[in-house]
Amino acid sequence: MNRIDQVFQEKKDVLNIYFTAGFPKLGDTVKIIKALEKGGADLIEIGMPYSDPVADGPTIQESNMVALENGMTIAKLFEQLEGIREHTNIPLILMGYVNPVIQYGVDRFVEKCKSIGIDGTILPDLPLPDYKREYKTLFDKAGLYNIFLISPQTSEERIKQIDEASNGFIYMVSSNSITGAKDKVQDGQIEYYERVGSYNLKNNKLIGFGISNNDTFKNACCYAEGAIIGSAFIKLLSNSENLEKDISNFVKSVKG
């Protein structure tokens, strides 16, 4: 069984935390993974830095730039993750943009994910028709889940197409904006959450963009199986002087 499925079978109010590989320092990737698992995170989303992360807000954009300047690449990330399954069993998802993956070689990328023990990918700019036509068979054979995003503007028809083609969970973007931490949920978001909930989708749902603390996390969990935190965690890493301690305290504060 894919580890992502196992988490949703065993846990409620699933917390998925995003960080950018190679940030704040090039060698911090595995240290952060271990600290997140120890601290109580349920899923980890590892960002593959890219020079033009158009869906991301300034906090994550800046972390991408720092990581690239530090020398992070897909090849370097795979090198750092070699043997990670000797130390951790938490589901690991690689999140990034499709162009660097194509440059690396999609077949090679998927095979490397399989050999290391990566459970899924999130490639926001990979069109659904292209994935179904060119890559789905490859991903399925490797047991690698590819997770798609939906937003308040995504039609019911497309959401159901995504649900049919997806495994693991659907990433519900909370608003039509770039990533970034917010302190509270807007009224229009609740209507969107309830509307998607009425579709009886086969996949679990995680809400992302704007989740930053216990209040926004718990609110999201009223409408989905959990939530994703990115920018707020990146800010923590930027200011941390003790990664293990600060990461543990952060996860506990979000989960309450």
* The dihedral sign for the CA sequence 238, 43, 30, 115: negative
> Pick the catalytic residue: 45, 119, 163, 225?
45
For residue 45, indicate whether it is catalytic: yes
For residue 215, indicate whether it is catalytic: no
Most distant CA pair in the chain: distance in Å?
Answer: 47
Cα-based distances in Å from 203 to 13, 20, 177, 224, 255: 15, 26, 24, 11, 23
Query: 170 and 163 in contact (C-beta within 8 Å)?
Result: yes
Backbone angles phi, psi at 34, to 5 degrees: -60, -40
| Token pair in block for residue 204 | 């679990």
Query: 173 and 149 in contact (C-beta within 8 Å)?
Result: yes
Backbone angles phi, psi at 133, to 5 degrees: -75, -40
How far does CA 100 lie from the centroid of its chain?
17
Q: Which amino acid is at 33?
A: I
> Pick the catalytic residue: 28, 37, 42, 56?
56
- What own/partner pairs with CB < 8 Å and gap ≥ 24 does 161-167 have? 161/128, 162/128, 163/199, 163/201, 163/202, 163/203, 164/202, 165/128, 165/131, 165/132, 165/136, 166/203, 167/2, 167/4, 167/5, 167/120, 167/203
d(CA 195, CA 203): 15
Catalytic residue list: 45, 56
